Amino acid sequence: MKYFYPYKVENRYWVYDRYSNKISEIDKLTYNIFTTYDKHQFDEKKAVLCLNDTSDKKQVIQKIKDIKQYQNDYDMFKPKEIEKCVMPISTKELVNKYKNEVHHIIFNLTDDCNLRCMYCKFGGTYKDVRVHSSQTISYKVIDESIELIKQYYQNKETLIIAFYGGEPLLEFEKMKYIVEKIKCSYNNVRFAFTTNGILLTKKIIDYLIKNKFSIKISLDGSKIMHDNNRITKTGKGTFDIISKRINEIKKNDIDYFNKRVGFVVTVAPPYNLIELISFFEKNSNINQPVIVSFVDPFDTSYVLVQRETDFSLFN
């Protein structure tokens, strides 16, 4: 497993260290070394063999030494060996805290999804991670969970009920069941979930607006960028239908769209951050959240498929 993420923006090269949360600018050779890390793991001999066709042997060896020196000087680009976790509070205090301060509950409605995104964590390309299945939450578990909320939620803060999947809207009826149950017992409550947007029909949109849901829609940028990875089970891109659903929300209630709809962006290679930023500057309100995360292509065997499609924005 790597602890850093190299990427290129136009003609400049960068690497992000996940533990220090720092970004460093690097040269092209160093970038090539980082991108081939899984083949040599900073071993000089293996790195030379790996880059033999494109780089000078002496330069590769020197760059490896520079990286190792950087690791020692700045404690970056290396794993953190955590032998034990030291808690600043006692077990009794921790138990008491969670018995009296529970206010954010997540219902995992289903392990199923109606898309098959290339980089999906649950798509079968990640080791030791669950995959899509037809398993869904039962009404029995829902009722038991609501009883636990009644037991531990103390009405001190806004109760946040979030829904997760898979695609949570595949279990919309169960989502409604939970919402109505919660509304019967609490007034200060907020509902939220992330969706791929495919199932946002008018009926569902009306319900979300009525209950003031906060939603995040997965959207990876322009049509070309989005359709590279976010595809249906039959391999078709989903940008057009998602942009249609977004426009339906706008048409239904623009104030709701501006205040309660945000976006989740997954950035996968080939990186084009300038195009991505430009897209959301043109197609989202300045106050709308845009949550960005990066795919690590070395942690998964997924294959990035490029599609020749026309660049287009929302209508």
Indicate the burial class of 3 (C-beta count within 10 angstroms; 0-12, 13-18, 19 or more): middle
Residue 80 has pLDDT above 80, yes or no: no
Name the residue with higher pLDDT: 128 or 9. 9
Q: What's the pLDDT score for residue 172?
A: 98
Provide DSSP, 239-261. Answer: HHHHHHHHHHHHHH-HHHHHHHE
Residues 169, 170, 173, 177: is their CA dihedral positive or negative? negative
First to last CA, the chain: 42
Q: What's the pLDDT score for residue 306?
A: 36
Provide DSSP, 163-209. Answer: EESS-GGGGHHHHHHHHHHHHHH-SSEEEEEEE-STT--HHHHHHHH
Sheet strands side by side (includes 22-26): 4-9, 12-17, 22-26
User: Domain spanning 91-294: which CATH class is it, in words?
Assistant: alpha beta
Name the residue with higher pLDDT: 21 or 296. 21
pLDDT, average across residues 150-168: 91
Domain boundaries, the chain: 4-74, 91-294
Name the residue with higher pLDDT: 114 or 313. 114
Q: What's the pLDDT score for residue 313?
A: 39
Condensed to tens digits (0 to 9), the pLDDT of residues 112-143 reads: 999 999 989 888 887 767 889 999 999 999 99
Condensed to tens digits (0 to 9), the pLDDT of residues 177-218 reads: 999 999 999 999 999 999 999 999 999 999 999 999 999 999
Residue 144 has pLDDT above 60, yes or no: yes
Condensed to tens digits (0 to 9), the pLDDT of residues 16-40 reads: 888 777 888 899 999 999 999 989 9
Q: What's the pLDDT score for residue 298?
A: 60
